[in-house]
Structure 1
Amino acid sequence: MEILSDILLACGALGAGFYCHVLSSRLKRFNALESGMGGAIAVLSQQVDEMTQALETARRTASGSSDQLALLVQRAEATAGRLDLLLASVHDLPEVNDHVRRPRFVRRRRDLEAAE
């Protein structure tokens, strides 16, 4: 009985050793930087870093644009207030009389005859 248990124990140890060898070779292929998943993970990690930098740049640009837009809105509101004041002051001006002579430009016959 002891011999049978020793044989089963040796078979189990050999099976576990074979299983560990298979896992080791798979892990080496998985972590290979050139051809395996390790290379893909390295490339993806680099792309994530680049995207993070691009996102930070876009965030800074958007913040600057937002500040500039807020300044332009304030200027537009101030200008609209001034335009309202100017329109109100135009309504307060006296009306222009139509009988006031406006300057006219008249051609004389002498100029027309000389042109021909």
Structure 2
Amino acid sequence: MNFIADILLVAGAVGAGLYCHVLSRRLRNFTDLEKGVGGAVAMLSAQVDDLSKSVQGAQATAQGSVATLTDVSARAEKAARQLELLVASLHDLPKEQTAAAPANPFFVRQKRDAETRQ
């Protein structure tokens, strides 16, 4: 009876050892930097770094655009104020009488011009 219990105990220990060996191989492959999750984490970390650099570049560009737009907007407002003053000053001018419109607004070459050129 003791002999059978010892055989079962040894068989269980060998089975547990094989299980641990297989599990160790799987974990080693799982955390491998080239193929497993470790590689995926390393790749994602590099992509996050690239993305953060791109975001910083986009923020710098956006800040430059905001500064340019602010300057252009201020110049446009200044020009609008000047135009308003000019239009207001035009209302103060006396109305001039306009010249009579010509009877024939089209240019017609006369015959003597054609004869003198020949």
TM-score by length of 2: 0.69
* Superposed CA RMSD: 3.2
Q: CA shift at 1:39, angstroms?
A: 1.8
Task: Detail structure 1 runs of 4+ shifted over 3 Å in the superposition.
Answer: 2-20, 107-112
CA–CA separation in structure 2 for the residues paired with 1:96 and 1:109: 37
Matched residues, percent identical?
49
CA distance in 2, matches of 1:88, 1:26: 85
TM superposition score normalised by structure 1: 0.70
Which structure 2 segments of 5+ residues have no match? Answer: 101-108
Long gaps (5+) in structure 1: 101-106
CA apart distance, 1:92: 1.1
1:81 is matched by which residue type in structure 2? R
Q: What is residue 104 of structure 1 aligned with on the other side?
A: none
Cα deviation, 1:19-54, whole Å, max 9, x if unaligned, reads 433332111101212222222222121111111100
* Alpha-carbon spacing, 1:50–1:3, altered in 2? closer, same or farther (3 Å): same
Identify the range of structure 1 (5-14 vs 84-93) with the bigger mean alpha-carbon deviation: 5-14
3-state SS, counterpart of residue 95 of structure 2: coil
Q: CA distance change for structure 1 residues 111 and 15 in 2, over 3 Å: closer, same or farther?
A: same
When residues 48 and 93 of structure 1 are mapped into structure 2, their CA distance, relative to the original with a 3 A threshold, is: same
User: What is aligned with 1:55?
Assistant: 55
Match of 1:113 among 99, 112, 115: 115
Residue 73 of structure 1 corresponds to 73
Change over 3 Å in CA distance of 1:70–1:8 after alignment to 2: farther
